[in-house]
Structure 1
Amino acid sequence: MTVVAIQPSYGNPAARRHWKDTLDQEVHFAEPSRINALTPDQHTALLAAHPTGKARFWGATKAQDKNMQRLHSGDVVLFTGGNHVRGVGEVGVTFRNAAFADTMWSQDPKHGSWHNVYSLAAFQPTRIPYTEIWDLPSFNTNDNFMGLRILEGAKADEVLQGLGIETTAAALELTALESAVAAALVAGTQIIAAENLHTQETTYQRDARPVLVRRAEALLVREYTTSISSPDVQVQRLQTPAGITDLHVTGPDGTEIVEAKRSADHRFVREALAQLLDYAPHSPEPADRLTGLFPSRPADREIALLHRYGIDCVFRTTPGDFERFAASADARDHMRRAWSEA
């Protein structure tokens, strides 16, 4: 289970210096002065994760010793500051070493060395406003994320899904599962369950690369929300057992669930259809309308596919403007019974 850490990292001059020195650029940990500060095991782990001898790093002082024990390879860090998530990283190697930390960062006057060190196997600069986290069901408006916060379980999953973060560890786990299932089928042996695949130990045998942070859908949802905004329309995101809806809209026309996709191609239309049908039974009020939201007009056959299941198609025409191709009333009424009875 992936842990998510919310890490304030840009709110004061010291943090901004750390950012410039060890996030804006990679650190050569294999140079003599730093190798001498590492234990043999730490050096071996870093080289296995970062064969070039370079990596991005972050650290925490003794005040965060307990929290840092909960952070491991493959976990995700949201680096925050200035009311934005300024970067998303995926943890590579974690260890405690004051001597090594002191080669990168000056000690904190109150708490000393930033000795809880972790490298980043992947890192992506971003500019995600806090409002996108506040919109998630488990968060509160005006939460400024003061101090390191560790999220686990459903709340961590909510952040990953809600912000569209796809980790390299998750991608490799899917690849490992695919390989294991294929091998078992070819050999006629038992198929290994996903939870029994332990891939994180070999996840980072490569140079660092960006974390995949999907922003197109979030930006599309934001623009569409602005276009329908009015005093009598309530727009929120809904946490369901099937996941988090992109939008749950309540207004004079009833209740609508909206699923946004970054493309109007067939694959994404099918994904939207499946997710909407999965979400619908969990709406607190019976859903009157399900809607797929796309950045451009889908092909006629894709619109027909949505309409077959009583789902509307909305797509962007020009900046701030959207067009709706509504499903027939008969198709919607027929499917609504399935949504309500599921």
Structure 2
Amino acid sequence: MLHVAIQPSYGNPAARRHWRDTLDQEVEFGRGKCGKALTEEEHARLLNAHSSDRARFWGATAAQDRNMSLLGSGDVVLFTGQKKVRGIGEIGVTFRNAGFADAMWEKDPKNGSWLNVYSLLSFRPVDIPYEEIWALPSFNAGDNFMGLRVLRGEKAEEILDGLGIRTIGENRRALARDKEVAQLISKGKIVPVEGVHTEKTTYRREEREIVVRRAESLLVTEYKETLGDLDVSRLKTPAGITDLYVVGGEGPELIEAKSDSDHRHVRMALGQLLDYAPHGPEEVERLSALFPSRPVDSDVALLHRYGIDVLYRMNAHEFDRIEAPGESRDHMRQAWTR
């Protein structure tokens, strides 16, 4: 089960020094004081995950022993500070070693060594305001995420989905499944429903990056700012988390945003909207797809056949709506909600 840790890491000068020293840059872990502090087993595990003998690191004090015992390779960390998610990483190796931690970071005056150490397979700086997390169905506005917090199960999946995070492990499984299916088809064999489970795959450096999709989120944020006092939220449904659920005078509207306006993204928006539509708290009156630019006429017509409006960005904070014909919407509304 994948875990997501929310890790305060930028709120005071000491944390910012740690960030500068071991997140802004990789650390050579096999030499000097750090190397001497490692056991042979720890060094071997680190080299297995980071063959260059360098990695980014973070740590937690003994006060977080219980939380840290829940985390392992492949889990995701949201590094927070000043009411933002400032970085997202995927854990490589976890271990408990006060000597190694003390070689990298000054001890905390109250809680001592940052002995619960973890390396990062991947790290990406981001700038995500807490409001984007608060907008998710299972989170509360005003929660400032004080102290290390570990999410699991549906709540972990919700925050990954809601923030558009895809891990190295997910990419690995998708590539392995694609390869498996291609091989079976080429040999004329039946493709099983369950995919393969890959323990280890070799990757080029550029493939070992956690993916954080921000274009859709920024597009949604800008569009929300044009909606004034309308009731705007996100819904958690069996089909996933909606981008926008807007309740106005004409009734509920579901909106799915996409980062591009090409045919592939139009088809994705169409499928997701039809998948989400039956699961609202009340019958939706309108389905709309939101794009960063105007789709071509044939794609607009495709959405209109299913009664779906097209919203697109014209300029900064300026959007246009191409409404689906009323008869198409009325005809399709019964199918939306079945």
Which bin holds the TM-score, normalised by the shorter protein? over 0.9
2:248 matched to which residue of 1? 251
Letter in 2 for 1:67: N
Kept after mapping to 2: 8 A contact 1:86/1:128: yes
Instruction: Output aligned runs, 1:159-174, within 5 Å.
Output: 159-174=159-174
Instruction: Compute the displacement of 1:207 (Å).
Output: 7.5
2:37 matched to which residue of 1? 37
Unpaired runs of 5+ residues, structure 1, are none
More moved, 298-307 vs 187-196: 187-196
Instruction: Output aligned runs, 1:169-188, within 5 Å.
Output: 169-187=169-187
2:105 matched to which residue of 1? 105
1:268 matched to which residue of 2? 265
Instruction: Compute the displacement of 1:109 (Å).
Output: 2.4
Whether 1:294 and 2:291 are equivalent positions in the alignment is yes
CA displacement 1:32-78 (0-9 Å, x = unmatched)? 43222111121112112112111100011111111111111111100
CA distance in 2, matches of 1:335, 1:240: 20
TM-score by length of 1: 0.94
Relative to structure 1, the CA distance from residue 205 to residue 95 in structure 2 (aligned partners, 3 Å threshold; closer, same or farther) is farther
2:237 matched to which residue of 1? 240
Same amino acid, percent of matched pairs: 58
Letter in 1 for 2:235: L
Relative to structure 1, the CA distance from residue 195 to residue 77 in structure 2 (aligned partners, 3 Å threshold; closer, same or farther) is farther
More moved, 11-20 vs 310-319: 11-20
Letter in 2 for 1:75: D
Relative to structure 1, the CA distance from residue 28 to residue 164 in structure 2 (aligned partners, 3 Å threshold; closer, same or farther) is same
Relative to structure 1, the CA distance from residue 125 to residue 186 in structure 2 (aligned partners, 3 Å threshold; closer, same or farther) is same
Aligned-residue Cα RMSD (Å) equals 1.8
CA distance in 2, matches of 1:103, 1:190: 55
- SS at structure 2 position matched to 1:93: strand
1:118 matched to which residue of 2? 118
Relative to structure 1, the CA distance from residue 106 to residue 66 in structure 2 (aligned partners, 3 Å threshold; closer, same or farther) is same
Relative to structure 1, the CA distance from residue 124 to residue 338 in structure 2 (aligned partners, 3 Å threshold; closer, same or farther) is same
1:224 matched to which residue of 2? 223
Letter in 2 for 1:24: D
- SS at structure 2 position matched to 1:145: coil
Kept after mapping to 1: 8 A contact 2:177/2:195: no
CA distance in 2, matches of 1:208, 1:114: 30
Instruction: Compute the displacement of 1:185 (Å).
Output: 3.8
Instruction: Compute the displacement of 1:182 (Å).
Output: 2.7
Instruction: Compute the displacement of 1:171 (Å).
Output: 0.7
Letter in 2 for 1:146: M
Whether 1:156 and 2:156 are equivalent positions in the alignment is yes
Whether 1:16 and 2:13 are equivalent positions in the alignment is no
Instruction: Compute the displacement of 1:253 (Å).
Output: 1.4
- SS at structure 1 position matched to 2:70: coil
Instruction: Compute the displacement of 1:204 (Å).
Output: 7.0
TM-score by length of 2: 0.95
Total equivalences in the alignment? 338
Instruction: Compute the displacement of 1:316 (Å).
Output: 0.5
Relative to structure 1, the CA distance from residue 191 to residue 197 in structure 2 (aligned partners, 3 Å threshold; closer, same or farther) is farther
Letter in 1 for 2:225: T
CA distance in 2, matches of 1:147, 1:89: 17
Letter in 2 for 1:212: V
